[in-house]
A and B are shown apart, each in its own frame.
Chain A
């Protein structure tokens, strides 16, 4: 089940051969707001220090100048690579919805490789939560999928109103498909 299977030109880890892809999404871009802001602030600080070193503050001692330049370079690269890693992690967290299941795929570069799948037809409740001004203004929030013994919380869902409708519609379709299957199975069994 965990092997990458190819159907309908779409391949992803954990997809069943009979599943039909519906939609996928990453978390809302607001998730990257703080990393972007921090990245920009570090850049302004470091580039500003370099400009100051070049124009106003002249260090006569070459050792001091070299040490400061090396430190600035270390912080500059740290800021950049920390941001890249966060951006990669952002892209590696995906929700994929097929006609049968919801797949939550969460990976990091080295340490994490999670894949959580839930059948749509077993979902009892689909809740949409948008708390606060920012969530309501930007149209994101949490979708909570509740089955009998499991609960999947998908935070930072973008266009949440649209996604909520899609989830609900797909669940109803999945239920209809399952009841049809059961009915045909019962008819096949009875003489």
Chain B
């Protein structure tokens, strides 16, 4: 049960950092607000798709924190 405290701590930290970075980024990025039609491979990163990627990344980090602590902490 003592593993719960570090897991919750890491999860809170991950959520806070991801959230803060996303808010900062989207504030800046919406000022640029680019259309589609770029020829570089990065044109797939629209705001909506980026949001999904960041969400998946957050889930991955949370899962990593939980799994590593459940396996290695006790």
Hey, which bits of chain A sit against chain B, CB under 8 A? Answer: 4, 9-13, 21, 23-26, 28-29, 50, 53-54, 65-66, 69-70, 72-73, 76-77, 80-81, 84-85, 88, 90-92, 94, 96, 105, 107, 109-110, 113, 158-159, 162
> Are B68 and A92 in contact, CB atoms less than 8 angstroms apart?
no
Contact with A along B1-40 (1 / 0, CB 8 A): 0000010001001100110010011001101111101111
Q: Say how far B23's CB is from chain A's closest CB, in angstroms.
A: 10
> Are A94 and B68 in contact, CB atoms less than 8 angstroms apart?
no
A65, A72, A90, A107: most-surrounded residue (chain B CB, <10 A): A107
Give the complex CA separation of A54 and B13 in angstroms: 24
Residues on A with C-beta less than 8 A from B21 are 81, 84-85, 88, 109
What is the predominant secondary structure among interface residues of chain B facing chain A?
A: helix
> Are A77 and B61 in contact, CB atoms less than 8 angstroms apart?
yes
Q: Say how far A99's CB is from chain B's closest CB, in angstroms.
A: 15
